[in-house]
Amino acid sequence: MPDPSDTTYFRKGFGLKTEVANTLDADYSGRLVDVLRERGFTLTAGDTTVRLAREFGFCYGVERAVDYAYQTRAKFPDRRVVMVGEIIHNPHVNAKLRAMGVEILMPAPSGFDYSGVTSDDVVIIPAFGVTMRDFETLRGLGCVIVDTTCGSVLNVWKRVDTYARDGFTALIHGKHYHEETRATASQVRRHAGGAFLIVRDMAEAERVCEYVERRGSRDEFLTRFAHAASPGFDPDVHLLRIGVANQTTMLASDSLAIAAAVGEAMERANGQEYRAANFRSFDTICSATQERQDAVKELLEQPLDAMVVVGGYNSSNTMSLAAICARRVPTYHVEDAVCLDPEAGTIRHKPIGQVDEVESAGWLSMTGPVRVGISAGASTPNNKIGDAVARIFATRGIDPRSAV
């Protein structure tokens, strides 16, 4: 990382937290969420009860990233401010930044196009971080860089850097197309011969286990992981020593299961001593992600008729929350509170594993007392959670004000 005294690189804001606090509060705070907290995370009106998971919404890393973006706009009111992709995966927050005059570069298949960025510009690196190549390109342009990369992501980077330094391949549980995972994988470039392989789920991890145990086809393996492996990846070489890491927002239980499966495969293939010397695994799920997953599991122990999870459709941690809920109760992952239409009694949502949004009618039309759980991804502001709560009551024909 650059010298903290560098006048073109900033990771700690600009000392303008107080100046932007009122704007942030107006843009993202939610009174109804405050009321839910005060009342034990439960509100009842008429025959409808809404229960909020005890951990939800903005995590520290997201709060920090958004705060720094607002500080950046205040610090450089007359300069062009550009962001490398979305700061977080929430359409409301990104729309607010665009309205403030922050330009958001969206990636093409070949990556980000920096041809329009000059040394006079201020560039914000999002909470997910950027690849080594992107960072080096920006440094070469001489622009001011405001780095909001989440500390939990930096911890994963340190882990895969250690793997590469010690000659271990970084096996990353994540989505190969996700900004965070791409940035993490790029860290192996710090070391000659550094290698990575990205697995999306247990099914892909099982293919790795098969090859480790010499049961897989080399050609089939290379074809399957062509999009998710480091250049020149050779499974006969790079699967001899493996260190497991993960995208910080994946399901913790899946990451732990994948690590266990790969470690056991190495032991079956080569013995316990070999595994001890050539396999490493550390849980790099961020604490906020874990806390939100644990809180949802706790909420699901209570009787619920439906679960609403609020957050961007491209938000990995929100999708993980929805996946946990869908195993136990009818679950509706909505991108925004406006997806709930009280007048029509419909809800627009994205079912687990599907690409397109769908609309469901009569989702809360059941008779008798109704109990609805709600949670939100780490990039969802409180006002959007509160709006969703109000719309749940309104869908049942209840004035949400009567609940408070």
Q: What percent of the chain lies above the pLDDT cut of 70? A: 99
Place of tokens 């590469």: 164
Q: What is the mean pLDDT of the chain?
A: 94
- Residue 78 is assigned to a structural domain of this protein: yes
Say yes or no: 207 and 264 in one domain.
yes
Same domain, 294 and 383: yes
* pLDDT confidence band for 353 (50 / 70 / 90): confident
Say whether both 95 and 169 belong to one domain.
no
The answer to the question of residue 19 being in a domain is no
The pTM for the full model equals 0.89
Contact 299, 321 (CB under 8 A): no
Residue 284 pLDDT greater than 90, yes or no: no
Reported as a single tens digit per residue, the pLDDT across 30-84 is 899 999 999 999 999 999 999 999 999 899 999 999 999 999 999 999 999 999 9
Residue 191 lies in a domain: yes
Task: Give me the sign of the Cα torsion angle 361, 363, 369, 373.
Answer: negative
Predicted local confidence at residue 401, as pLDDT: 79
* Residue of 180, 204, 206, 357 marked catalytic: 180
| Domain stops at, among 107, 122, 149 | 149
Strand 306-310 and strand 370-376: the pairing is parallel
Name the 3-class secondary structure at 250. Answer: coil
Q: Is residue 24 part of a domain?
A: no
The domain boundary residue, chosen from 235, 267, 285: 285
Burial class (CB in 10 A: 0-12, 13-18, 19+), 185: buried
- Do 231 and 327 belong to one domain? no
Nearest to 336 by CA among 388, 382, 379: 388
Q: Which domain holds residue 116?
A: 62-149
Residue 332 has pLDDT above 60, yes or no: yes
- Flag whether 3 is in a domain: no
- Does the annotation mark 180 as catalytic? yes
- Indicate the number of domains in the chain: 3
